[in-house]
């Protein structure tokens, strides 16, 4: 189907009825997914700096309230509003697939995430401008398609090609009926600017170089062990559980955590299983490019390049891939 770009605002107001609509926009100079307040979303240009991860897997999520003392009781916090993520690109869509695989499909089902995911409608859009650090193609993605999104908009100059991939997407499209016209739009042809030599065999071989200390020392040298890469990465899903106590009662919450922090693996009694930054960054890279693959069949890196642009020490996962590819194949 086709949608005239002029009618985009009307579509957005349809989407925003009684639901929280998140669109890419500027918040004090930082492009991120923000609540839509009627302005035109920034769909083109580079991808958002902060991923949409915060919507499905919030920075701080209250899990349950508790009371101690004689009548101790625990009450789960359940209310979840309906949400819509509009203007998602292929790489962020893949990150949601990864998180679905972790939180829903494997082992226990994480009820918090599952509930949020069930109440979220995702409207993806074809990638209109690859950033200088993008390499999603070499991670096996097609920037111009998002098969697992509910609705996908492809860019046709003055109009969007609209197609629904899921029944929920189709149901939603019915509401757009009056603005849709027949006809489809050719697939756009944006390509990534980077192409690191990532491949399925490299993913297998990576665990082989686990003990190559000299390589790891050189790769992890400049790292300053901050959490920037974890918190701007769309697929990092590690979290910490904590309790905010207010004198005998309070809230238990989970919040983002980063494997790069020094107290991440701090056991009671002082022993730390990964005390040095070499071990921690090695674990991060291997988890993204190898370990996750063994369990879920896809890499945990979607090639969005956010960690490359934001790393204070200018570390670069794409360069890492090229270097290890070179080391692994000989």
Partner 1 sequence: MSRTGVFVCHCGSNIAGALDVERVAAAAGKLPGVRYAASYKYMCSEQGQQLVKDAIAEHELDRIVIASCSPRMHENTFRKLLKDTPVNPYMLEIANIREQCAWVHADREQATEKAVDLVRMAVAKVAKNKPLHSSFIPVHKKALVIGAGIAGIQAALDIADAGYEVTLLEKESSIGGHMVMLDKTFPTLDCSACISTPKMSEVAAHPNITLMTGSTVESVGGYVGNFDVAIRQKARYVNHDICTGCGLCETKCPAKVTSEFNQALCTRTAVFRPFPQAVPAKPVIDPESCRKLIGKAKCGVCQAVCPLGAIDFEDKDKLITDTYGAIVVATGYELVDWAPLYPEYGGGKYSDVITGLQYERLVNASGPTEGKILRPSDKSVPKDVVIVKCVGSRDKKKGRAYCSRACCMYSAKHAHQILEKIPGARVTVFYMDVRTPGKNYEEFYDRAREDGARYVRGRVAKIFRENGKLICRGEDTLLGRGVEVPADMVILETAMTPAQDIRELCAKLTISTDEYGWVQEAHPKLRPVETQTAGVYLAGACQGPKDIPDTVAQAGAAAAKVCILFSKNEIEGSPMISAVDENKCCGCSACVRVCPYRAVMLEEIDSRELSGAVKRQVARVNAGLCQGCGACAASCRTGAIDLLGFTNAQILKEVDALCL
Partner 2 sequence: MSDIQSALRERARELLEDGKVEYVIGWESARGEDKTRPAFIRKAEDAGRLVWNRFCVNSTAKYLLHDRWPKGKIAVCARGCDTRAINRMLSDGQIKRENVYILGIPCEGVENKICQRCAHRNPLVYDELLGESVEEKTDFDRFANVREMQEMTLEQRRKMWEDEFTKCIRCYACRNVCPACSCRECYADQYRTGWQGKQFNSVENRVYGLTRAYHVGDRCIECGECERVCPMDLPIMLQTGKMLMQCNELFGDYECGLSADEIPALGTYNLNDADSFG
Partner 3 sequence: MIEVNHDCTCQGNPLVPQVCRITDIRNETGDVKTFRVQSLDGKRPFLPMPGQLGMWSMLGVGEAMFSITAFGEDWIESSIKAVGELTEAMHELSVGDFVGLRGPYGNGFPVDALKGRDILFIGGGIGAAPVRSLIRWCAVHREQYGRFDIVCGARTIDDVPFREDFFENWPKMDNTGVHITVDRKTDNWNGSVAFIPDYVETLGLTPENRKVVMCGPSIMIRLTTERLAKLGFARGDIITSMETRMKCGIGKCGRCNIGSKYVCLDGPVFTLTELDELPAE
268 binds partner 1 (CB under 8 A): no
CA–CA separation, 257 vs 293, rounded Å? 21
CB 99 within 8 A of CB 235: yes
Between strands 2-4 and 20-27, the pairing is: unpaired
**Distance (Å) of CA 328 to CA 3, 198, 218, 324:** 48, 11, 16, 6
Structure tokens at 41: 């979303």
Q: Give the x-and-dash track for 114-153 against partner 3 (CB under 8 A).
A: ----------------------------------------
Tokens of 21: 């609509």
Determine if 237 is a binding residue for partner 3 (CB under 8 A): yes
Which segment (89-97, 171-179, 205-213, 240-248) binds partner 2 by CB under 8 A? 240-248
Both structure tokens of 168:
């929920």
Residues 194-253 close enough to bind partner 1 by CB under 8 A: 246-248
Tell which positions 53-112 bind partner 2, by CB under 8 A: 59-60
Q: Which of the choices partner 1, partner 3, partner 2, none does residue 319 contact, using the CB cut-off of 5 to 8 A by kind?
A: partner 2
255 binds partner 3 per the rule CB under 8 A: no
Of residues 29, 38, 69, 269, which one binds partner 1 by CB under 8 A?
Answer: 69
Q: How many CA atoms lie within 13 A of 120 on its CB side?
A: 24
CB 151 within 8 A of CB 163: yes
316 touches partner 2 by CB under 8 A: yes
Smaller CB separation from partner 2, 160 or 285: 285
Alpha-carbon distance 225 to 258, whole Å?
9
How many helices (DSSP H) and strands (DSSP E) are in the chain? Answer: 12, 12
60 binds partner 3 per the rule CB under 8 A: no
Q: Which of 79, 167, 211, 330 binds partner 3 (CB under 8 A)?
A: 211
**Interface residue list for partner 3 (CB under 8 A):** 63-64, 66-68, 72-74, 76, 102-103, 106-112, 207, 210-211, 237-243, 245, 248-250, 252, 254, 257, 259, 264-269, 273-274, 279, 283, 286-287, 290-292, 294-295
């Amino acid at each position: 189907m086709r949608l005239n770009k002029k009618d985009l605002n009307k579509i957005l107001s349809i989407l925003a009825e009684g639901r929280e609509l998140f669109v890419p926009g500027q918040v004090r100079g930082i492009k991120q997914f923000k609540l839509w307040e009627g302005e035109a979303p920034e769909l083109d240009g580079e991808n958002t700096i902060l991923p949409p991860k915060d919507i499905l897997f919030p920075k701080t999520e209250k899990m349950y309230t508790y009371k101690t003392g004689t009548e101790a009781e625990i009450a789960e916090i359940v209310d979840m509003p309906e949400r819509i993520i509009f203007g998602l690109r292929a790489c962020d869509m893949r990150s949601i697939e990864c998180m679905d695989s972790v939180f829903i499909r494997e082992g226990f089902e994480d009820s918090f995430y599952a509930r949020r995911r069930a109440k979220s409608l995702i409207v993806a859009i074809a990638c209109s401008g690859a950033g200088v650090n993008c390499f999603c193609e070499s991670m096996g993605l097609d920037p111009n398609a998002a098969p697992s999104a509910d609705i996908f908009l492809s860019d046709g100059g003055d109009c969007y090609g609209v197609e629904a991939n899921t029944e929920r997407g189709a149901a939603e499209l019915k509401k757009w009926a009056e603005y849709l016209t027949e006809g489809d739009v050719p697939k756009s042809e944006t390509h990534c600017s980077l192409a690191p030599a990532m491949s399925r065999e490299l993913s297998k071989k990576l665990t082989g170089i686990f003990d190559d200390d000299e390589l790891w020392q050189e790769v992890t040298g400049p790292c300053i062990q901050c959490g920037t890469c974890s918190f701007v990465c769309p697929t990092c899903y590690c979290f910490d559980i904590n309790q905010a106590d207010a004198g005998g009662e309070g809230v238990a919450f989970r919040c983002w955590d980063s494997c790069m922090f020094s107290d991440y693996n701090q056991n009671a009694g002082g022993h730390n299983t990964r005390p040095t930054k070499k071990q921690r960054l090695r674990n991060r890279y291997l988890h993204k490019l190898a370990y996750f693959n063994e369990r879920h069949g896809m890499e945990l890196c979607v090639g969005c390049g956010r960690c490359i642009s934001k790393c204070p020490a200018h570390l670069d996962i794409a360069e890492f891939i090229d270097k290890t590819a070179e080391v692994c194949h000989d």
